[in-house]
Structure 1
Amino acid sequence: MGRIPYEVTGVSTPLFGIQWQKTSTDRRIAREVIVFLEDRRLLFGDRHVEDEGHCVRSALQIRAFLTEQLKRHEMGRELSTALKAMRAACRQFVDVAGPQGENFGYRMGPIGANRFGLALGDLRSQMGFYVAAIATQYKIEVDDDLATILPPPPEDEDEDVSWFPGFGGE
């Protein structure tokens, strides 16, 4: 895959010495994913009926980015599971929408439900769940806009993320 990155943690003298440690590749990948998602208004911005095609394209871009991360990097099972689940959420959104969002149109779904709004809500809920899991697991701060889709923060006694799928430590 790629070389394992190292970071310098200290330098000693007089005969020159250097201390180093392997950086957390999973944490770096997780940070890159969250930074990428922080710029995806699909996940948090106001949406309007005429935005269906744009939203489908954005979901496809997210899916492609996540696939690239999975192909390009060797990572732990927990992070890989979360990225695959996020990618599946994007795929589900695109499948419901149709290739250009034509399944949303101006039609209402069953019992007057807005199919676009429901699919977007499902996507945001699923993505928020996994962004929260990743941010908690790797101690990464999430931008305020993206944080609007996160589930409520755990209470102090609930900081164990082992109940999140893929983070069970099995």
Structure 2
Amino acid sequence: MSSVRKKALKSKELLSRLGGVSVLGVGMSFKPTEAERTVVRELLTGFEDRRVLFVQAIWEQPKYVLSSVEKMRGELTGTIKRLGEDSPTAAACRTMRGACRDFMTEFDGDKVTDMDPAFGKNRDTENFLMRLGALRATIGQQIALLAHMYEIDLEEQLASVLPPLPELDDKA
């Protein structure tokens, strides 16, 4: 079954490269979406290098976190543009992009500039760390979904943002 699956994937990738069809002199041009697994793999490869997702929050510098989240938001928008409207991948990307947008909205430049880079204890710092945790949780859920759907292996650091496995009850 594995070989059949590989052939199907290759044919999808081939189909995504077609630009149009002409039959009996009547032509039609279209640009189908790329093979979604390829698009998802590229997105997750980019996320593997986003420290904001997995480095201990206490070591993060707020201005660099915001910059990284803004870049992730741009990557997600670019990915959405490459997908079909009804794609489950696009829905997951929109969820992640919304989480990035919400995080960015919460912390404008002034708030971040006023924060102590060493994360001294104050209300803004605590809020920043809580929101960063929420962002990571949302993105981790969507990464888990995409990695499962497309059978993509993740680097250990990126896998650290995935939701924990449910504990099995030994009594059952």
What is the TM-score with the length of structure 1 in the denominator? 0.70
Q: CA separation in 2, counterparts of 1:140 and 1:57?
A: 27
**Rounded Cα–Cα distance in structure 2 between residues aligned with 1:50 and 1:148:** 16
- Identity level (%): 30
**What letter is aligned with 1:138?**
Y
Could you list the structure 1 runs, at least 4 aligned residues long, displaced by more than 3 angstroms after superposition.
Answer: 47-50, 72-76
Counterpart check, 1:149 vs 2:161: yes
**What is the aligned counterpart of 2:97 among 46, 67, 87?**
87
Q: Distance in 1 between matches of 2:104 and 2:45?
A: 22
Q: Write the deviation string for residues 94-139 of structure 1: whole angstroms up to 9, x where unpaired.
A: 11111365287246229xx711210110111000000000001111
Checking the alignment, whether the CA contact within 8 Å between 2:63 and 2:113 is kept in structure 1 is: no
1:65 aligns with 2:79: no
User: Which structure has the bigger radius of gyration?
Assistant: 2
Pick closer, same or farther for the CA change 1:145–1:50 going to 2, 3 Å: closer
What does residue 122 of structure 2 align with? Answer: 108
Distance in 2 between the 1:50 and 1:140 partners?
28
- Which blocks of at least 5 consecutive residues in structure 1 are unaligned? 1-7, 10-19, 156-170
Q: TM-score, normalised by structure 2?
A: 0.69
Aligned length: 137
- Segments of structure 2 that go 5 or more residues without pairing to the other structure are 1-5, 14-33, 168-172
Displacement of 1:48: 3.6
RMSD: 2.8
- C-alpha displacement of 1:72: 3.4
8 Å contact 1:26–1:75 — kept in the other structure?
Answer: no
User: Does residue 41 of structure 1 match 2:55?
Assistant: no
